[in-house]
Amino acid sequence: MPRSLLSFLLLCALSVVHGQRVGLVLSGGGAVGLTHIGVIQALEENDIPIDYITGSSMGALIGGMYAAGLSPWEMDSLFSTDLYKIMAEGGIEEHFEYHFKKDHPDASLISLKFDLDTALQTSLPTNFRNPALLDFEQMRTFGPASALAGYDMDSLFVPYRCVASDLTDQRSVVFGKGDLAQAVRASMSYPFYFKPISVNGHLMMDGGLYNNFPSDVMYNDFLPDIIIGSNVANNSAPPSEDDLLSQLRAMMQEHTDYSVICENGVIIEPRTTATLFDFSDPSVAIRDGYTAAMERMPEILAQIQRRTPKGEVQARRASFRRRSPLMVVGDISIHGLTRSQTRYIARSLERRDRTITLDRLKPMYFRLIADRNIALMYPKATYDKAADHFDLDIYVKTEKDLEVSFGGMFSSRPINTGMVGLRYNLFGSTSARLEANSYFGKFYTAGQAKLRADLSTAVPLYLEPVFTLHRWDHFRSFTTFFDEVRPSFVVIREAWGGLNAGMGLGNKGLLRFDAKMAETKDSYYQTVDFTGQDTADVTSFRHFTSGLLLERNSLNRKQHANAGGALSASVRFITGDEETDL
């Protein structure tokens, strides 16, 4: 009888051990949150199972990648690539930047944008980083896993939850169903860094505003036996009356409970030299996360008796990814535009085949984003199981109607020049913009008006009528109090009007033809010894000119470029009559 009782107790103990379920909670923290990758590496190396995962902000991204079937070592490699560094900086890969859509460089330094239908209310930028590349690559990363799971996050490689902050209802939202890419993007939309996104009509921002460590979500949704938390965040200090940033932070953020809630739990708090927005060297944060987890590993091993061998995890991960559908796009739908604007976008994305891979779609997509009439594009892929492809919904936000620019050239010499520019966007069946600018200074004065229309043809083309005035005044830059006031030695006036037509050649090339009627008028003196009573000679040159320019430009800045190159070749024909009035 005692032997039977002992056997029963041993059987119960074994069932408890085998039934242990482990949840992993990942906090927000920007680039510091990359420590979570090192924590997961340490757990997998020691055969610690991860049965559920929840995250906020950066923790949502790392947790989402794990739930989508990526190993921590794959994440380590991905975050070390140039692609992920460009994504973090809000850039676009250099070979996808579209020179055809770029404006001719001018002297503008700052720009303000307005909407005419909102009583000329100006809009300050809501983000300092362009999320276009991030959104596209997250669709690529999370789309297949989300489709395989049937858009149920309980059916991912690991059941998953993330939190975002609903600015419309001012509450924390838990994502357990729907598109994984959209959920992660909502959770990691850090204020002023990446633009918030709309989900079902609600504006979503960084999950860390209301819940930066979703251990409560883990407990309520999954009720694991043990919770392991990886935390690199803390509550902000009380606001100071002299610190505006602390006051804004206090208004936006709610207090977060950084505990694991249940009695059986371990908090890992990595210490790292990585900073919030510095993604330049992910290996530092990942290494520090691994070190912190290994320091707590004896305690974790003591609390968790269940083991999941690495080979078993790798085999299950490989099976999950093998069953995921290929990311092939079928139907493309455009949202947020008028009918004529939608036709323009649709023609720009036309392809010959019924379906298209993301690698083939990507150059077309980023050429479209480069259009100055488009402020934002957000892609969402939904799997059509019957057709075995993804339907792509693109949500487009147009640029504001009016843009005012200010700039110039400032020097210690008397050649300072100010600049003001206006741009009015006209977006319909073509993408057009009406522009005017003026330069003003003692030495140089100019004005220009032009209208550029981009045609949505198979070969990218634009037409641009333009009218320009120039004036250069070569005055004497220094005089004494007793010098006689004299007119300028040379004054050059130029006026021309004509038509430019351009054709895109790949992403970096441009072929441009122009035809213009022009007049140049020079007022000058034949000798430096002249007085205010002397009359200047005037030479006029009325002419017609046309030219052909072939250029390739990949410079990364309009001034002081430190990457890329520029090459151009041109031919020009000029004919005209010159007259001189002595």
Residue 264 has what pLDDT? 78
How high is the pLDDT of residue 559?
79
Task: Return the pLDDT at 121.
Answer: 55
Entry pTM: 0.86
CB 273 within 8 A of CB 282: no
Query: 133 and 183 share a domain?
Result: yes
Query: What's the DSSP call for residue 152?
Result: B
Do 386 and 515 fall within a single domain? Answer: no
Question: Could you give the strand order of the β-sheet that contains 444-455, starting from the edge strand earlier in sequence?
Answer: 121-122, 108-115, 402-409, 417-427, 431-441, 444-455, 461-474, 490-505, 509-524, 537-553, 566-581
CA-wise closest residue to 180 among 68, 72, 78: 68
In one-letter notation, the amino acid at residue 77 is S
CA terminus-to-terminus distance, the chain: 131
Q: How far apart are CA 425 and CA 368, in angstroms?
A: 16
CB half-sphere exposure, 568, CA atoms < 13 A: 13
Both tokens of 395, joined, read 């949500």
Please tell me whether residues 393 and 408 are part of one structural domain: no
Which among 537, 557, 548 is positioned nearest to 515, based on CA atoms? Answer: 548
Same domain assignment for residues 347 and 319: no
pLDDT at position 531 is 63
**Final residue before a domain boundary, out of 373, 398, 423:** 398
- 164 domain residue, yes or no: yes
DSSP 160-216: EEEEEEETTTTEEEEE-BS-HHHHHHHHT--TBTS--EEETTEEEE-GGGT-SS-HH
Longest dimension (CA), the chain: 131
> Would 102 be classed as within a structural domain?
no
253 and 218 both lie in a single domain:
yes
Question: Does 179 fall in a domain?
Answer: yes
428 and 389 co-located in one domain: no
Based on the fold, state whether residues 175 and 293 are members of the same structural domain: yes
* Angle ∠(323,25,225) on CA atoms, nearest 5: 90
Output the pLDDT for position 288: 94
Which one of 398, 421, 447 terminates a domain? 398
Domain end residue (candidates: 375, 398, 421): 398
Residue 119 is assigned to a structural domain of this protein: no
Residue 192 region by backbone torsions, left for phi larger than 0, else alpha for psi between -120 and 50, else beta: left
- Strand (E) positions, 385-442? 389-398, 402-409, 417-427, 431-441
In this structure, are 309 and 275 located in the same domain? yes
Give residue 557's pLDDT: 81
Pairing of strands 108-115, 537-553: unpaired
87, 230: one domain: yes
| 140 in any annotated domain | yes
Residue 207 in domain: yes
Contacting residues for 267 by C-beta, under 8 A, at least 6 apart: 229, 231, 258, 259, 260
DSSP state of 127: B
Geometric angle at alpha carbon 89, from 113 and 158, rounded to 5°: 115
Residue 514 lies in a domain: yes
Residues 150-160 as b or e (16 or more Cβ within 10 Å = b): eeebeebbbbb
Amino acid at 436: A
Q: Is 565 exposed, middle or buried (CB count within 10 Å of its CB: 0-12, 13-18, 19+)?
A: exposed
Residue 273 tokens, joined: 């030299």
CATH of the domain at 358: 3.10.20.310
pLDDT tens for each residue of the chain, 582 residues long? 444 444 333 333 443 445 789 999 999 988 899 999 999 999 999 999 999 999 999 999 999 999 999 999 999 999 999 999 999 888 899 889 998 998 888 889 998 888 877 655 556 666 678 899 999 999 999 999 999 999 999 999 999 999 999 988 889 999 999 999 999 999 998 887 888 999 999 999 998 889 999 999 999 999 999 999 999 876 445 555 554 444 444 444 554 555 656 677 899 999 888 887 888 889 999 999 999 999 999 999 999 999 999 999 999 999 999 999 999 999 999 999 999 999 999 988 888 888 999 999 999 999 999 999 999 999 999 999 999 999 999 999 999 999 999 999 888 777 889 999 999 999 999 999 999 999 998 889 999 999 999 998 888 999 999 999 999 987 755 444 445 555 667 889 999 999 999 999 999 999 999 999 999 998 887 766 666 667 778 899 999 999 999 999 888 887 788 888 889 999 999 999 999 876
Report pLDDT for 239. Answer: 52
Residue linked to tokens 């009888």: 1
CA distance 57 to 163: 8
pLDDT at 118: 64
Give the CATH number of the domain where residue 225 resides.
3.40.1090.10
Cα–Cα dist 161/174, whole Å: 7
Query: Would residue 573 count as lying in a domain?
Result: yes
DSSP 30: G
Same domain, yes or no: 51 and 178: yes
What integer pLDDT is reported at residue 12 of this predicted model?
38
Is the same domain home to 296 and 383?
Answer: no
CB atoms within 10 A of CB 104: 11
Query: Tokens 């739908």 — which residue?
Result: 333
Closest alpha carbon to 138 in 327, 289, 356, 272: 327
Q: How far apart are CA 16 and CA 159, in angstroms?
A: 21
Distances (CA, A) of 62 to 28, 30, 71, 185, 277: 10, 11, 10, 12, 16
Instruction: Tell me how many domains the chain contains.
Output: 3
430 and 296, same structural domain?
Answer: no
| Domain span at 156 | 18-91+129-323
Name residue, tokens 């333009």.
466
